[in-house]
Amino acid sequence: MKLLVFIAVLACAFQVYAEEEEVQKEDGVLVLTTANFKGVIEQNEHILVEFYAPWCGHCKALAPEYAAAATLLKDEQSVIKLAKVDATVENGLAEEFQVRGYPTLKFFTSGTPIDYSGGRTAKEIVQWLKKKTGPPAKDLSSVDDAKAFVESQDVVVIGFFKDQDTDAAKEFLGAARALDDTSFGITSDEAVMKEYNVEGDKVVLFKKFDEGRNDLDDITKDSVKKFVTMNSLPLVVEFNHDTAPKIFGGEVKSHLLIFASKSGADFEKIREAAAAVAKEFKGQLLFVTIDTDEEDHQRILEFFGMKKENVPGMRIIKLQEEMSKYKPDAEDLSEDGMRSFVQSYVDGKLKVHLLSQDIPEDWDKEHVKILVSKNFDEVALDKSKNVLVMFHAPWCGHCKQLAPIYDQLGEKYKDQDDVLIAKIDATANELEHTKIQSFPTIKLWKKDTNEVGEYNGERTLNGLSKFLETGGEYGMAAPDEDEDYDEEEDVDEDSEEDVDHKKDEL
């Protein structure tokens, strides 16, 4: 009997050993499957998992940085591990962890996952993980420690406190816990305070650009958070995948976007002019350059109704529940031109700019009518008809799938005088009274009342017909998973080229 028990124990031990052996690595990153996922998560207290698709452009861009982060952690002998899951193969895991876009990163601590919210460079990944697993601020007990910390990154924040048990020190640490993408240090060492000319409690942000240093004396959790987010970016920020989260997640919601070719002869002159004006409006507007040489940025130009011949140019956006856009009277990118444009915006003298295409000559030739901003109200708000409108985007995969069904719907109701089927390219046409958050969106303007109903039922000829015939009652259910403006790539492989959604970038 004892022999049988011993054999059973050996068998279990061998099975565990075999499971551990099955976990392969690629560039230092654990490769997880449905078979080994649970075991690896249980065996590692801290593990970051990337759910990816082989065809995903963002995943390909992340891969070398993710591998470099794994190497950095290994070199530091950290217990934190990095892993990845091919979500196109391991569908069950993707469904279990509600993967809706690629890449999706989840950080597991003792088996409990949270969403990753850090940057996408190796240093930013490691920094975020350290903040989540270690103290919120590094103790700096000597001048050498402080100097090494200041030199370690482009932006660091140090709290100087004679007594770290004070309310101010506790508020500082609360802010440090809340800001995952910034490294914080704390010191009470007199020599360190003397080295950096600090007397009394103070928070100092050190940076390798612009002024080089910013100081804060009024120390609360909220004031420190605002201070850091406002000062951790350059006066003029270059837009890219790394800076985008900081640009759009910051405290300043009004942005001057400068569209210019980075390789152009006048780029540096434009940037210098922008920096001069940015100093005057610091805290009110963020100044952002967008390199129009980048292929990925062409859709941003399209979003603003701009073409290559409009470059260099500028626009202002205000990020709120509904984004507002503002256009200058002239594309004058001199210092005076920028200052005048920004001052007019701050003074509330500018009107919101709405895009519109010209009305096509054959807009009503087909059974599905083509609307633009300029003819929308005249057609859609005609109280003698039930008017169904599909708001679509040229790059939207779901829109392309729906198009033939929608054409059939137009054919079906072509002879019914009180029904009109229409569509509008919502990326090139904007309406003051109707804002679109995802594609495709289908809305019904009801006969007699112009009451608006939105369709969220199945995208079939039968479903859309019922929606019309019930006056918008049928189909008022939970919405399908439309293509919204997610920074990550849509999980539909067919839509790979269509998913670099510009409204999230802006």
Please list the active-site residues: 56, 59, 396, 399
- Residue 176: C-alpha distances to residues 114, 225, 276, 428 (Å): 18, 8, 31, 42
Which amino acid does the sequence have at 410? G
Spell out where 65-212 has E strands: 81-86, 101-102, 104-109, 112-115, 138-139, 155-160, 183-187, 202-207
Q: In whole angstroms, what is the distance from residue 100 CA to residue 108 CA? A: 18
Q: In whole angstroms, what is the distance from residue 204 CA to residue 192 CA? A: 12
The residue whose two tokens read 């000559």 is: 361
Spell out where 270-322 has E strands: 286-291, 313-318
Q: In whole angstroms, what is the distance from residue 166 CA to residue 398 CA? A: 56
Cβ neighbours for 392, distance < 8 A, ≥ 6 positions apart: 399, 402, 403, 423, 424, 425, 426, 439, 440
Are 252 and 230 in contact, with CB atoms under 8 Å apart? Answer: yes
Are 73 and 65 in contact, with CB atoms under 8 Å apart? Answer: no
The residue whose two tokens read 């109903």 is: 453
Are 374 and 382 in contact, with CB atoms under 8 Å apart? Answer: no
Taking alpha carbons only, the member of 443, 321, 461 closest to residue 371 is 443
Cβ neighbours for 419, distance < 8 A, ≥ 6 positions apart: 385, 386, 387, 388, 413, 468
What is the SS3 assignment for 137? Answer: coil
Are 323 and 506 in contact, with CB atoms under 8 Å apart? Answer: yes
Q: In whole angstroms, what is the distance from residue 335 CA to residue 357 CA? A: 31
Are 288 and 257 in contact, with CB atoms under 8 Å apart? Answer: yes
Are 232 and 246 in contact, with CB atoms under 8 Å apart? Answer: yes
Q: In whole angstroms, what is the distance from residue 400 CA to residue 487 CA? A: 20
